[in-house]
Structures are given as C-alpha cells and as structure tokens.
Structure 1
Amino acid sequence: MLAYISSFAAVGFAVRCYQLAILKRNIFENLGGHALSVSAFTGLGYYLYHADERQRGMIEDKKQQLLRMRARETRLADGQAASVASEGSHH
C-alpha cells in the first residue's frame, strides 16, 4: 500500500514541477503548491488503492458464487444423467 500511495505522491510532485516548467517559473518556487499537489495525489492514490481492493473482493465473491452455481448444475446434470441411464436399463 505504501508503495502504491508513494508513487502517486511522486507523480503529484512531478506534475507540479512540470506545471511550473511550462509556465517558465522556478521549479522550487512556492513550495506550498508542491505540498498541495502531493497531498491531492496522495489522497487520490489512497482512494484508488482501496477502490481496487474493494473491486478485487467483489470479483472474488462473484467468482466463488459462479463456481458454486457451476458445481450445483454439474450435480444436477449428473443426477439427471444417472436417472435417465437407470430408466433406460429397466426397459
């Protein structure tokens, strides 16, 4: 988690430096702007990390649900095949 959020903070710092470079201003002018940019991107990284975790959990739950449904359908199909086979052997 720390690496994920730190990378977003680094991107925030780079974006601020790039913004100042485009404006042809001193890159280290107004360090409060850097702090604000880093904070905003850190918050975004934190949110996206937890959103990713929630989505992975939801996908895993859906996968387990689908596997249970497949197992149930397989049991039903095997039961029907066995009943058809037993009916065919009696005639």
Structure 2
Amino acid sequence: MALLSNILGFSALGLAARFGQLGIQKRNLFDNLSGHAIAMGVFGYGGYWAYKWDLRAAELLSQKRAEIEARRQSASGTQ
C-alpha cells in the first residue's frame, strides 16, 4: 500500500506542477489533457523510483549496521 500511495502522491505533485506551469503561462488549465497525463506519469515513475531507492537504502543501512556490530564484537572479544 505504501508503494501505491507514494506513486499517487508523486502523480498529484506532477499534476500540481502542470497546473502551476499553465497558470504561469495564463493558459487554459484543461486545454491539453495529454500533457497532464504525461506529467503525472513522469512524476509517478519518480515516486516509484523513490520508493525503491528507500527500500534499497534501508537494506544497505541494515547491512552496514550488522558489519559494524560484528566488528565491535570481534574488537571487544580480542581485548
């Protein structure tokens, strides 16, 4: 469920960015709906990538913590 909420949240951010872009240009917000879909898709993919990166970072951190704990155990065992 976290993956879906992350993708939907980033997609909403993409839609808001598209509305902001069209607002700055003073164009009709609902003129080109395919541009909205593209922006939402690109930002949604960014959300998917961010979710996967978060999982990978947590995995790397847990591995590094285990390595540090093993070094501490071996260092305290030799002294």
Q: Kindly, what percent of the aligned residue pairs are identical?
A: 35
| Higher RCO by CA contacts (8 Å cutoff, separation 6 or greater) | 2
State yes or no: 1:52 paired with 2:54.
yes
Aligned residues: 77
Give, in angstroms, the shift of residue 6 of structure 1.
1.0
Unaligned runs of 5+ in 2: none
- Which residue of the partner structure matches residue 39 of structure 1? 41
TM-score, normalised by the number of residues in structure 1:
0.82
Task: Compute the displacement of 1:30 (Å).
Answer: 0.3
In structure 1, list runs of 5 or more residues that go unmatched. 78-91
Query: Which residue identity is paired with 1:33?
Result: G
Q: Give the letter for the 1:6 counterpart.
A: L
1:9 aligns with 2:11: yes
Shift >2 Å, 4+ stretches: none
**Counterpart residue number, 1:20:** 22
**TM-score of the superposed pair, with normalisation by structure 2:** 0.93
Q: Which amino acid aligns with 1:64?
A: A
